[in-house]
């Protein structure tokens, strides 16, 4: 029997859960020839086949998803990028392009969405972040590990290009910290970090074993003006910007000398698009660090005070968050991303602060000052 017919039959009869279906497809492929074992490579809807991929973003209503959808829609067309989440979208999101409900723990529904919408790229943003995860380990395990398994299986079954972000939280106290290299000891001590190392390893395993086009970037803490962070350890920075403009004072929950890698959202989203578009043959790795700037709360306060000299900061250190931050790198080594797909950040600390203040205070006197 021809290979494609066997594979299609295996996918068609895969009704009892993602793991079963993946195993059936694998068995079918194995029975034919060792060179066609990678079902991702044999699927007719490979994203390389089309000029405009059809993209699904999971967890799209968090800090990063709406901005990424905007960027991808500009590039690939409004209707080719579907945002999804388990929450109700605000009106401006609902009216600006396709949005659907999708719970990544419901693999049947997820599979239907992928098939019915002819999805070719999947950006998997759903996650429970570091601070929230430490407060609800069971939820973090379910969303970040069980949910990821559903995503991997569906992406492999349907030959999707799969992007899963990792994080500085995937490193731990025994990793080199300044900078953290691409390849080193990774023994994180948060459930978030453990689940992200798991995602990196599972994605790379599926890539080598089944040919899944898995792509992963380790994001620094992301700074954005018009979307709120979802409960991570670097959230203080975004909160400090808003407080600085609105009230002129802020209580910081990390020590003033806590240096962490940070990135402005435009750099993060551009990196994601450029990495997603990079030709597969240029990627010598499937998981890359990306770096931009690194700063402490003290550095940020000093830079903010250049524009807002009256800004008052107090410190009330949260021991749980501080312990998390103390185990994370201060900077990321990103030479491999520069070499393989041309990554280069644009925003250093002063440019980031200038841009954030301009966005947050648009319309008031501060904006005029820039």
The answer to whether 55 contacts ligand NAD (rule: CB under 6 A) is no
Per CB under 6 A, which region of 23-31, 47-55, 61-69, 281-289 contacts ligand NAD?
Answer: 61-69
Name the catalytic one among 192, 219, 236, 288.
192
Considering the complex, state which of residue 53 and residue 65 has its C-beta at the smaller distance from ligand NAD: 65
Considering the complex, state which of residue 9 and residue 98 has its C-beta at the smaller distance from ligand NAD: 98
Among 40, 59, 211, 261, binds ligand NAD (CB under 6 A): 59
Among 19, 78, 87, 344, binds ligand NAD (CB under 6 A): 87
**Sheet containing strand 221-223, strands side by side:** 221-223, 260-264, 293-295
User: Catalytic annotation on 192?
Assistant: yes
Task: Kindly write out the interface string for residues 187-226 of this chain, putting x where it contacts ligand NAD by CB under 6 A and - elsewhere.
Answer: --------------------------------x-xx----
Question: 161-180: which residues touch ligand NAD (CB under 6 A)?
Answer: 165, 167
Among 26, 32, 86, 308, binds ligand NAD (CB under 6 A): 86
Q: Cα separations (Å) of 240 from 29, 49, 235, 248, 313? A: 54, 45, 9, 9, 9
Considering the complex, state which of residue 29 and residue 93 has its C-beta at the smaller distance from ligand NAD: 93
Among 229, 261, 297, 329, binds ligand NAD (CB under 6 A): 229
Question: 141-160: which residues touch ligand NAD (CB under 6 A)?
Answer: 143, 147
The answer to whether 83 contacts ligand NAD (rule: CB under 6 A) is no
The answer to whether 58 contacts ligand NAD (rule: CB under 6 A) is yes
Taking the complex as a whole, the smallest distance from the CB of residue 221 to ligand NAD amounts, in Å, to: 5
Tokens representing residue 20 in the block: 């079963």
Secondary structure of the chain as H, E, C letters: CCHHHHHHHHHHCCCCCHHHHHHHHHHHHHHHCHHHCCHHHHCCCCHHHCCCCCEEEECCCCCCHHHHHHHHHHHHCHHHEEEEECCCCCHHHHCCCCEEECCCCCHHHHHHHHHHCCCCEEEECCCCCHHHHHHCHHHHHHHHHHHHHHHHHHHHHCCCEEECCEEHHHCCCCCCCCCECCCCCCCCCCHHHHHHHHHHHHHHHHHHHHCCEEEEEEECEEECCCCCCCCCCCHHHHHHHHHHHHCCEEEECCCCCCCEEEEEHHHHHHHHHHHHHCCHHHCCCCEEECCCEEECHHHHHHHHHHHCCCCEEEECCCHHHHHHHHCCCCCECCHHHHHHHCCCCCCCHHHHHHHHHHHHCCCCHHHHHC
Among 232, 261, 297, 329, binds ligand NAD (CB under 6 A): 232
Per CB under 6 A, which region of 57-65, 90-98, 155-163, 311-319 contacts ligand NAD?
Answer: 57-65
Burial tier of 366 (Cβ tally within 10 Å: 0-12, 13-18, 19+): middle
Per CB under 6 A, which region of 15-23, 119-127, 300-308, 318-326 contacts ligand NAD?
Answer: 119-127
The answer to whether 233 contacts ligand NAD (rule: CB under 6 A) is no
Taking the complex as a whole, the smallest distance from the CB of residue 139 to ligand NAD amounts, in Å, to: 8
Among 26, 105, 349, 367, binds ligand NAD (CB under 6 A): 105
Among 53, 62, 97, 172, binds ligand NAD (CB under 6 A): 62
Active site residues: 192
* Residue ranges binding ligand NAD (CB under 6 A): 58-59, 61-65, 85-87, 103-105, 125-127, 129, 143, 147, 165, 167, 219, 221-222, 229-230, 232, 234
């Amino acid at each position: 029997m021809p290979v494609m017919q066997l594979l299609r039959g295996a996918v068609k009869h895969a009704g009892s859960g993602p793991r079963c279906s993946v195993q059936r497809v694998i068995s079918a492929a194995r029975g034919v020839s060792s060179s066609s074992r990678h079902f991702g490579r044999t699927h007719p809807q490979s994203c390389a086949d089309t000029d405009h991929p059809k993209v699904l973003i999971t967890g799209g209503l968090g800090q990063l998803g709406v901005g990424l959808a905007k960027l991808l829609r500009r590039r690939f067309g409004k209707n080719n990028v579907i945002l999804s989440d388990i929450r109700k979208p605000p009106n401006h999101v609902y009216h600006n392009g396709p949005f659907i409900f999708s719970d990544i723990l419901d693999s049947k529904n997820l599979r239907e969405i992928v098939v019915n919408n002819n999805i070719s790229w999947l950006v998997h943003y759903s996650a429970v972040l570091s601070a929230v995860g430490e407060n609800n380990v069971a939820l973090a395990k379910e969303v970040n590990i069980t949910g990821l398994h559903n995503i991997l299986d569906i992406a492999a079954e349907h030959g999707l290009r799969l992007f899963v972000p990792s994080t500085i939280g995937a490193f731990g106290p025994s990793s080199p910290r300044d900078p953290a290299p691409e390849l080193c000891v990774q023994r994180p001590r948060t459930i978030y970090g453990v689940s992200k190392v798991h995602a990196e390893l599972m994605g790379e395993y599926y890539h080598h074993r089944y040919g899944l086009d898995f792509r992963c970037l380790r994001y620094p803490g992301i700074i954005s003006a018009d979307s709120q962070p979802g409960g991570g350890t670097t959230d203080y920075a975004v909160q400090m910007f808003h407080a600085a403009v609105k009230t002129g004072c802020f209580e910081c929950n990390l020590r003033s000398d806590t240096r962490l890698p940070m990135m402005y959202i435009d750099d993060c989203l551009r990196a994601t698009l450029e990495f997603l578009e990079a030709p597969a043959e240029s990627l010598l790795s499937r998981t890359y660090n990306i770096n931009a700037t690194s700063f402490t709360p003290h550095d940020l306060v000093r830079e903010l005070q250049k524009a807002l000299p009256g800004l008052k900061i107090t410190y009330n250190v949260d021991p749980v968050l501080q312990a998390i931050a103390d185990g994370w790198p201060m900077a990321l080594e990103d030479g491999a991303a520069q070499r393989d797909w041309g990554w280069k950040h644009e925003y250093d600390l002063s440019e980031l602060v200038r841009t954030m203040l301009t966005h947050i205070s648009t319309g008031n006197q501060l904006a005029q000052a820039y």
